[in-house]
């Protein structure tokens, strides 16, 4: 359809931004009965801040799932807690209450997730924490730390570094507490490796490789290597160096805040789920201002555009 002589234009439909998600949610909320005192505009703005990267279909799923959760509990209207529970379900899958972890596994998962939470808590460019849970969800996830991501299209090297540290926090916490490691960090390590590889090979963020970009071929693409074996060796060394730097920084941070790590993990073992308010009670407020509300996030986006 797009070859010469026919249609030569394509229309790209991106995922909705913050205001786009709010407007989509207002449409889907028309058929939802909200709890007394809740306004559709306020609900749409709050849910929009918690759902970056979601499509219109995902947002419809969130509103429908919230209504189902409220109906199962015989509520007269959907409450904000139902929307937050529906987001958890859409992102992480169903709670597997029948999947019983052994005490040792539960402790390992608790310290792993506490490692993510505590590391992110003390890093300026880490996303604000929403909740930490060690309740198994979906087919594989035994626990998760949920952060309030934001719509962001440009990243600095420092932001990449802090995100890598937060991802490595789970593995490092296991090492510090148990002197051994588990398979729970597989997804974290995959994401960290992709970030480090992108910085070195594609984004020109390595002083050794310089301002060069070598796109990694996809699984179906024919591999091409427009660089020498020497350059390949240097890129491999740089990727390892990027990850080692983040690993050392995270280990020092968690060693310094080991008591905080233990407090968060023990609270998780006891309650199985903790929120940002619990983290503030345990660790005190984060040292940096957080953009959390719809108005704050929107103002932050407009400031970046200016």
Please tell me whether residue 20 adopts helix, strand or coil conformation. Answer: helix
**Token pair listed for 159:** 């932001």
| Nearest residue to 118 via CA among 250, 242, 248, 243 | 250
Tell how far CA 169 is from the center of its chain.
13
Cβ contact 61:93 at 8 Å: no
Count the alpha carbons within 13 Å of 85 in the hemisphere toward its beta carbon: 17
Cβ contact 293:49 at 8 Å: yes
The DSSP annotation for 167-194 comes to HHHHHHHHHHHHSS--GGGHHHHHHHHH
User: Which H or E run contains 299?
Assistant: helix 294-305
The DSSP annotation for 223-234 comes to P---S-HHHHHH
- Residue 175 CA to residue 111 CA, distance in Å, equals 10
Cβ contact 183:146 at 8 Å: no
User: Of the listed 113, 163, 174, 238, which one is catalytic?
Assistant: 113
Is residue 266 annotated as part of the catalytic site, yes or no? no
**Token pair listed for 34:** 């909200």
CA dihedral 149, 150, 155, 156 (to 10 degrees): -80
First-to-final CA distance of the chain:
39
Look-up of token digits 């600095």: 156
Residues with a catalytic annotation lie at 113
């Amino acid at each position: 359809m797009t070859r010469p002589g026919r249609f030569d234009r394509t229309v790209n439909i991106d995922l909705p931004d913050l205001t786009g998600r709010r407007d989509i949610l207002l449409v889907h909320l028309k058929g939802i009965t909200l709890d007394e005192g809740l306004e559709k505009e306020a609900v749409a703005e709050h849910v929009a801040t918690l759902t970056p990267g979601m499509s219109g279909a995902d947002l419809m799923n969130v509103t429908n799932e919230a209504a189902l959760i409220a109906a199962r509990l015989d509520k007269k209207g959907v409450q904000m807690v139902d929307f937050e529970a529906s987001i958890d379900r859409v992102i992480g899958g169903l709670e597997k209450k029948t999947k019983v972890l052994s005490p040792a596994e539960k402790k390992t998962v608790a310290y792993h997730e506490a490692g993510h939470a505590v590391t992110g808590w003390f890093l300026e460019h880490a996303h604000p924490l929403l909740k930490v849970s060690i309740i198994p969800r979906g087919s594989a996830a035994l626990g998760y730390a949920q952060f309030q991501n934001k719509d962001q299209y440009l990243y600095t090297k420092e932001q990449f570094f802090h995100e890598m540290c937060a991802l490595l926090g789970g593995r490092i916490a296991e090492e510090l507490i148990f002197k051994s490691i588990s398979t729970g960090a597989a997804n974290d390590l995959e994401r960290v490796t992709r970030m480090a590889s992108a910085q070195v090979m594609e984004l020109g963020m390595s002083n050794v490789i310089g301002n060069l970009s070598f796109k990694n071929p996809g699984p179906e693409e024919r591999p091409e290597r427009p660089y020498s074996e020497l350059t390949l060796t240097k890129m491999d060394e740089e990727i390892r160096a990027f990850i080692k730097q983040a690993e050392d920084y995270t280990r020092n941070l968690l060693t310094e805040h080991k008591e905080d790590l233990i407090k968060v993990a023990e609270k998780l073992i006891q309650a199985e789920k903790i929120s940002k308010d619990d983290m503030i009670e345990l660790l005190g407020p984060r040292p940096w201002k957080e953009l959390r509300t719809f108005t704050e996030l929107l103002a932050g986006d407009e400031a970046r555009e200016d």
